[in-house]
Structure 1
Amino acid sequence: MVQHRNGCAACCDALAYAEIIASTSTKSATGRRRRSGYCQARIVEGSAVMALQRLRSLIVTAVLMMLALIMPAFSQAQSAPSPEKVDQLIQLLSDPTVKDWLAKQSSQAAQPADAAPAQPDDAMSKSMVSTGLERIREHVQRIIRAVPQLPEEFARARTITMLEFANRGLFGVFLIVATFIVAGVVLSAIIYRLTARLRQWIIKLPHTTPLGRAKRFGGRNLYATLLICAFVVGSAGAFLMFQWPPLLREIVLAYLTAAIGVWAVRAYVASTLIPTFMQIDNAEALRALPISNAAADHWFRWLLIIAVWFGLVAATLSFAPLLGFTKDGMLAMSVPTSTILLILTLLAVWLRPRDASLIPHKRKLGHTAITWLLTLFFIIFWLMRLAGLWFAMWLTIAAVGVPFLIYLAHRAVHYLLRADPADEPGSAMPAISVALIDRGIRVALIALSAYLLARAFGLGISSMQSQEHPTLNLILRALLNAAVIVLAADFGWSIIKAVIERRLGVARISGGEAAHEIDTRQMRLLTLLPIIKNMVFAVIVVMAVLMILSSIGIQIGPLIAGAGVVGVAVGFGAQTLVKDIISGIFYLLDDAFRVGEYISSGKYMGTVESFSLRSVKLRHHRGALYTIPFGELGAVQNQSRDWTTDKFNITVGYDTDIDAARKLIKKVGLQIAEDPEFAPYVIEPIKMQGVQDFGEYGVVLRLKSTRKPGQAFGMKRRFYIAIKQAFKEAGIIIPIASVHVHHDEAADDKVAATATRIRRRKAAASGGDGS
């Protein structure tokens, strides 16, 4: 029986390879003799089963069903089947009806095995950790067991290639691959020469505006796509125009696909980083990322090297099953190839230049720390690959790679669309447009990563709708809905935030650079928008959380009702807080004050700096900062609205000509008002209103001036200096308080007599003589 089984396995192996050869070869006697000779050689050797990867499951199922039919024949004689029977079998297997029937039988046969319930004892005795360690051990043991079998598998692959490529040899296969790669390069060079005007048009696009830089970046990528398409047509397209043997076709297409991938990496990386060999002026300003020339050359070189090695390994392993390599053998071969890939990646990380960024940004970690962290990450990723932790490996890629790509996209968008001082005036991109592009790319990256993760884990719409694993399907649907809601909320919030920040920026510019032309509407926006921004953010967060809870099956009606009851209870318990919030709302609705205005309320006064839902912050002119709840603010005196009138007095002597003084004051006031330092803020110059009072020392004159609020504080000081000099020149005396003492002899005698009487009175009281 053992001999029969070995013979059947060998014959099935021969039949599988015969199908490969018979798919494209002719019915000539020479071809049949080659297939028959190969079958006989395989039966004698008793080698392992080899089949095409795309027909493996179908052929194995057919063989299992035919064992019962061919076992009696093998019990009588162990002779190889004739070539005619082999052709009949191949024709039978090629029938679509037979293929459908075999597929149904295989799926029915697989259902009991898949539906077999797990043993409760085993499930309870093994924890998740022990199960994971057991899987790692089994994976490593598979690799260790496959290593001694590699020489045999290489010998088998050599036998197959020698039989298939007997006329060409391995050098001939290499020559075919190289020929079509050269053909793709030649066609790309031809397209490059024919599109010189297109290149010149891209080069002439302006680089002194954000939109011009974005157009140049898009033009470079479109041109790179054109060259890639030319390479594809010249290499793989030209190859597919001819008829080739199946194995040769698979091998050449694999390496041509790898060459196309390397060519695409080269083209897109070059259009993004613009290395120095491209000899483009202002390359640093035109790159998609703010990196130096040394960094651009470094990453272009090493990314190309890594892409070449990855493409060669991927192409070789893609057709390895066609040459008889088993899955375990391919796992064993992946160990040295992935190790070399790790070494190349670490070299790229360790040899990267320092301080490569053109735009300084805050870093919590230095160059060396980042290098060691990247080294640790790639080593852990390599160990996951060797241990067969595919789930953890893909999750690690998503957890680290997606944020890194989002970070690169964020820097690229803000660098290309930056507001450079060297740009043309008025060419800055609106903040909302930048936010839309940035968040759009972020959403696309996250959605693409989720799709690739679902494909990597074998998840799909049909699997999520199946009833085999309801708990898993519920979790997957909940995660998908939550991801969609979070992405939509983030996208909407980013747009709202960009609009608010843009309006706030306009208001700040209006109030800072051109304060004499303050737009009251902009100042009101500057006051209200921060509060609106916080309220909108809170609303979006609450709505997103409620929608996520609803999507995972939680009833949010009781939550909303409970929140209402709790809100009423909190309102009764925190009446002061509610009073502050409501008072603040009415203050804002009444437009009582705005950010930047000087107000006073009771014992508090200062410039309004910011708001919250509950309080306002006032900055005193001496530096003190008051935080006042709206409920305690009371009546507000706003000293920064529309205009302000300043009234003050000066005193002149009683012998002064009032009319001459009035004219002189008016003249000096006009001179001060025309001073460039005060002219933008003066509404009415300093002038005399009239005589205010007759004082103890002179005539009090009343003066006033009208100016814009909060401006021209030094104008009155300048006026005092100027009017003193003008009065001095005109002979007008400004009286000052003084004491006049009059002296004569009679007064001296009276004072002496008074002093003598006082002295005698004191002496009499003390018992003296008073002399």
Structure 2
Amino acid sequence: MDVLLADLGEGLMIRRLGARNLARPARRLGALTAMFVLIAGPLVFGIALLLAGPVQAQGTATVPPEKVKQLFDLLDDPSVKGWMAEQRNQDTGSMAAPAAAGASPAAASSDAVAAPGRMNTMASSTLDRIKHHIEGIVRTLPSLPDQFARVRAAIMEDMSSRGSAGVFLLIALFIAVGLALTRATYKLTRPFRLWIIAQPKDTPIGRAKKIGGRTLYSSLLIVSFALGSAGAFMLFDWPMLIREIVLTFLMAAVFTWSVRLYVLVVLVPSFRKIEYADEVRALPITNETADHWSYWLPRIVGVFAFFAATFILLPGLGIDQDGMVVLSLCADFVLLLLFLIAVWRRPRTQRESAHHHTEATWLLTVYFVALFLERIAGLYTWFWFTLAAFVLPFAIVLTQRGVNFVLRPGSEEAGRPTIPAVTIAVIDRGVRMILILAAAYLLARAWGLDMQAMRDSDTTTTLILRGLINVVVIALAADFGWSIIKALIERKLGIEAQHALIDAEEAPIVDPQQARLRTLLPIIQNILLAVIVVMAVLMMLASVGIQIGPLIAGAGVVGVAVGFGAQTLVKDVISGVFYLLDDAFRVGEYISSGSYRGTVESFSLRSVKLRHHRGPLFTIPFGELGAVQNQSRDWVTDKFNITVGYDTDIEFARKLIKRIGLELAEDPEFKNWVIEPIKMQGVQEFGEYGIVLRVKVTTRPGGAFAMRGRFFLRLRQAFKEQGIELPFPTVHVEGLQSPHGADNAPVEITPELKLAVAQSHTNRRRKKAGTTE
């Protein structure tokens, strides 16, 4: 009976898959229904007609119940059990003896022929099972009316005082009592509802509290309905059959009510008039999609619950197992039609094109029909595998999207609060692990696998299954651990990148410790990933019975060989390790080495990437890097020259330079960069056009360039106001006469005159340079 209920329950899980692809016009519903009836109906009944002749000819053999009881009693006899065990041991020994003595060529050839024939045997056995299953269905169909007649007689005999109408009235009455108690609970819990509404929707914590509060509130309403319906019914003394029937259908009503409330909690349809419904629901879907599935899922679940309650009662009323199989197929057909209607009438999202929507709808239709045909053929193992292969990934993706949607960063008005990435990773991977383990457990139950028997058994199949289970568990544990480590590293990197700016109005200054973390953490992350993958693979191999000792020894030998054959690679890796240990450079620092210079962008185990200030990206192996000049570490002193006229008051100029340097040091734009303000060191030299003054400033790396330009602008303005001359090259021409005969008249500047002046200036500079030497 558990298997039967599980077979019915798969319908609900399949239909929820439709929420992933969103929509199709309702005008194709009639065509879809007609198509399915025209295809599936003749297929089922055609097979039935083909097999009806042989089945009728065979007839049904009726075995008296007392003989069946005698058979079971005989099988339970200890002496019979011992004899059967002895026969099995003898058969096993007789089969193993030829193998131990050595197989003959004829036997070897027969084995070689039999090996490729196993596939044909398996295929034929599968076809035989399908044929026998369909024959059983066809053989059961003529006997269903008699079974229903016996059921009706048994019901009427036990309920002669009330009849079926009285039973339905009792069910409706206690459902109404449950709804009344739920309404009273709704009114009494108004403060709790107001608290849920008051939670902010602009923060991840507020949205999580809203969803958690709605879930708790829905659970309270479900408990109220269960107490008012099934609980109130159990307070009275009823006849056994009436008690069983009414209580079963009341529990089906409680299940339907529970699904309805939880669907409303997750989807939050717009017809409930909830403000900002699209922001407080648990999934990133549109209002049209939420309204559609909020309408269809509770109704489909209600039909499923009615069928489940009916099938729970029918075996006790006289319906045999074959009859239950036939009736379950009828129920599956009804549920299939409901789900197909829901899928074909679903709305289309804005991001989904009409072509993709049609393709997704037809794929879902083919998938559901294939599941139904597997049920008809009795391929229950394939049915459960096909169901899990689609439902499990869909549930994982849906859960991941829901977690990321609910815990997304808050709005800018609320300050954009965030949930730590570690928390999100733990929730996401934890839910994924629960879903996978639950799916594995349900598949084991559906396939009839006994975990205790598997642990005690040593057969080949059992060993393989145990190994596969261990592999899944190890993979889940590795994924869970790696997700937490990755989230921790990404969170640390995100914090460092976020705090790189001291203030919105201040220039970026990177903390050395943070820069070092950003340099080392990516490398540590890659190393940890490699370690986790290697350990997980070795544990998986050990769990399936493979000896990993020789593998580790062989890997060591291969490592030594690779080390000798790839000395350059080993040199690069070892050099990189020592560069990192020496803290020679970090991500974001400007370095130069030989002909290479640029900002460090990233690392690998064997090379570093430098971005030149003009754009080119250099990838340099650590072994070729050599001596490194780091121009971004701690502080930097910038020295530059200023030329003033020979008649300038040097002391007055020094004071002006110092004053401007102090003003720039207090400027909010530069104050976080300046270590020592701009000041004059003294006279550098007597230049060709004036006195050269030496000026220096000490700043944090990268802060002197922009400040130097601002200093030049302010210094020019101050010198102009104080009458200090900034000399520049001039040319004085003598001995030329204008065309009009005036000695001091303006002279026309011609290209020839420009060339002569430039040549004279060059000769004078060369003469001065020679004199200096």
TM-score scaled by structure 1?
0.78
Deviation at 1:235, TM superposition (A): 2.3
CA distance in 2, matches of 1:251, 1:735: 110
Is 1:376 equivalent to 2:366 in the alignment? Answer: yes
How far did 1:426 drift?
7.4
Tell me, which stretches of 5 or more residues in structure 1 are unaligned?
1-46, 51-58, 68-98, 746-771
**Shift in Å, 1:465:** 3.1
Match of 2:443 in 1: 453
Segment of structure 1 superposing worse, 684-693 or 333-342 = 333-342
Q: Which secondary structure does the structure 2 equivalent of 1:521 belong to?
A: helix
Is the Cα contact below 8 Å between 2:292 and 2:346 reproduced in 1? yes
d(CA) in 1 for partners of 2:594, 2:80: 87
Aligned to 2:376: 386
- 2:51 match: none
In structure 1, what is the equivalent of residue 471 of structure 2? 482
Matched, 1:354 2:348: yes
Deviation digits for residues 640-671 of structure 1 (CA, Å, limit 9, x no counterpart): 11221111112222222222222232333344
Secondary structure at the aligned position of 2:401 is classed as helix
Alpha-carbon distance change, 370 to 66 in structure 1, aligned in 2, over 3 angstroms: closer
Are positions 1:230 and 2:191 aligned together?
A: no
Q: Secondary structure at the match of 1:137?
A: helix
- Please show how residues 85-124 of structure 1 align to structure 2 within 5 Å: 104=76, 124=118
Aligned-partner Cα distance in 2 for 1:325–1:173: 20
- State the shift of 1:63 in Å: 4.9
- Residue number in structure 2 paired with 1:181: 175
* Native 8 Å contact 1:275 1:296 kept in 2: yes
- Structure 1 residues 208-247: aligned runs within 5 Å: 208-247=202-241
Q: Is the counterpart of residue 571 in structure 1 residue 575 in structure 2?
A: no
C-alpha separation between the residues in 2 aligned to 1:661 and 1:288? 70
DSSP 3-state at the match of 1:704:
strand
- Higher alpha-carbon Rg: 1
Name the counterpart of 2:701: 709
Distance 1:603 1:201 in 2: 67
- SS of 1:419's equivalent? coil
> 1:243: Cα distance to partner?
4.2
Contact 2:399-2:428 within 8 A present in 1 as well = yes
Equivalent positions of 1:507-518 (< 5 A) are 507-511=496-500, 514=503, 516-518=508-510
Shift of 1:422: 4.5
Distance (whole Å) between structure 2 residues aligned to residue 449 and residue 281 of structure 1: 36
The superposition leaves residues 249-289 of structure 1 with CA deviations (integer Å, 9 ceiling, x where unpaired) of 43333322221210110121122222234443333322212
Letter in 1 for 2:342: A
Structure 1 range deviating more: 133-142 or 484-493: 133-142
1:133 corresponds to 2:127: yes
- Does structure 1 residue 64 correspond to structure 2 residue 75? no
| RMSD over aligned Cα atoms | 3.4
Identity of aligned residues (%): 56
Mapped to 2, the partners of 1:729 and 1:109 lie a distance apart of: 119
Verify the 8 A CA contact 2:638 2:704 in the aligned structure 1: no
In structure 2, C-alpha distance between the alignment counterparts of 1:417 and 1:490, rounded to whole Å: 21
Deviation at 1:733, TM superposition (A): 2.7
Whether contact under 8 Å (2:697, 2:704) holds in the other structure is no
Question: What per-residue deviation string (whole Å, max 9, x for no partner) do you get for residues 373-429 of structure 1?
Answer: 333322222222222221112112222212222222222222222211256447422
- Deviation per CA, 1:739-761, whole angstroms, max 9, x where unpaired? 5454399xxxxxxxxxxxxxxxx
CA distance in 2 between partners of 1:364 and 1:501 (Å):
39
Alpha-carbon displacement from aligned partner over 1:123-164 (angstroms, at most 9, x marks no partner): 858432332233223323332333343333333333333333
Report whether the alignment pairs 1:613 with 2:605: yes
Judged with a 3 Å threshold, the aligned counterparts in structure 2 of structure 1 residues 154 and 350 are, in CA distance, closer, same or farther, namely same
Structure 1 partner of 2:387: 397
- Aligned residue for 1:18? none
Distance 1:403 1:558, change over 3 A: same
Question: Structure 1's 195 and 501: CA in aligned 2 closer, same or farther, altered over 3 A?
Answer: same
Aligned to 1:679: 671
Question: 1:638 & 1:274 partners in 2: Cα distance?
Answer: 58
Bigger drift between 385-394 and 615-624 goes to 385-394
Cα deviation, 1:648-695, whole Å, max 9, x if unaligned, reads: 112222222222222232333344444443333233333221110112
Stretch moving more, 620-629 or 335-344 = 335-344
| Residue 513 of structure 1, CA deviation | 6.7
Question: Which residue of the partner structure matches residue 590 of structure 1?
Answer: 582
Aligned partners of 2:184 and 2:393: how far apart in 1? 40
CA distance in 1, matches of 2:419, 2:354: 30
CA–CA distance in 2 between the matches of 1:612 and 1:125? 50
CA distance in structure 1 between the aligned counterparts of 2:515 and 2:355, rounded to whole angstroms: 41
Match of 1:757 in 2: none
- 5 Å-filtered alignment, 1:547-696, equals 547-696=539-688
The match for 1:521 is: 513
Comparing 642-651 and 577-586, the one that deviates more: 642-651
* Equivalenced residues, count: 654
1:340 Cα offset (Å): 2.3
Cα distance in 2 for residues equivalent to 1:166 and 1:105: 44
Partner amino acid, structure 2, of 1:418: R
Distance apart, 1:697 and its partner CA: 2.4
SS at match of 1:149: helix
Q: Closer, same or farther in 2 for the Cα pair 1:102/1:267, shift >3 Å? A: farther
Could you tell me how far 1:572 is from its partner in structure 2?
0.6
Question: Is contact 1:684–1:705 with CA below 8 Å preserved after alignment?
Answer: yes
1:275-313 deviation per Cα after TM superposition (whole angstroms, max 9, x unaligned): 234443333322212223322221111111110111112
**Aligned 8 A contact 1:511 1:523 in 2:** no
Secondary structure class of the residue paired with 1:127: helix
Q: Which gives a bigger RCO, structure 1 or 2 (Cα 8 Å, sep 6+)?
A: 2
What is the aligned counterpart of 2:328 among 324, 334, 343? 334
* Residue aligning to 2:490: 501
CA distance in 1, matches of 2:225, 2:75: 39
Distance 1:739 1:687, change over 3 A: same
How much does 1:365 deviate?
Answer: 9.7
- Post-superposition offset of 1:637: 0.9
Structure 1 residue 625 displacement after superposition: 0.5
Q: How far is the alpha carbon of 1:439 from its aligned partner?
A: 1.5
Which AA in structure 1 matches 2:478? A
In the alignment, is the contact (CA less than 8 A) between 2:681 and 2:695 conserved in 1? yes
Does structure 1 conserve the Cα–Cα contact (< 8 Å) formed by 2:502 and 2:509? no
Q: Distance in 2 between matches of 1:541 and 1:559?
A: 15
SS of 1:154's partner is: helix
Q: Match of 2:500, SS?
A: helix
Change (3 A) 1:210 1:303: same
Larger mean Cα displacement after TM superposition, 609-618 or 453-462: 453-462
Q: CA deviation at 1:48?
A: 9.7
Q: 1:529 to 1:694 in 2, by over 3 A?
A: same
**1:734 pairs with one of 726, 751, 758:** 726
SS in 1 for 2:620: strand
Structure 2: runs of 5+ lacking an equivalent:
1-58, 96-110, 738-773
* Structure 1 residue matching 2:677: 3-state secondary structure: strand
SS of residue paired to 1:355 = coil
- Counterpart CA distance in 2 for 1:687 and 1:363 is 68
With over 3 angstroms needed to count, the CA separation of the structure-2 counterparts of 1:280 and 1:63, relative to structure 1, is farther
Contact 1:506/1:522, CA 8 A, preserved across alignment: no
**What is the alpha-carbon distance in structure 2 between the residues aligned to residue 513 and residue 141 of structure 1?**
79
Alpha carbons of 1:107 and 1:661: their partners in 2 closer, same or farther (altered >3 Å)?
Answer: farther
Q: Distance in 1 between matches of 2:455 and 2:700?
A: 70
Cα deviation for residue 366 of structure 1 reads 4.3
CA deviations over 1:505-530 (Å, ceiling 9, x no partner): 01111225755442211111111000
AA at the equivalent of 1:473: T
Give the aligned partner of residue 528 of structure 2: 536
Structure 1 residues 256 and 107: CA distance shift in structure 2, 3 A = farther
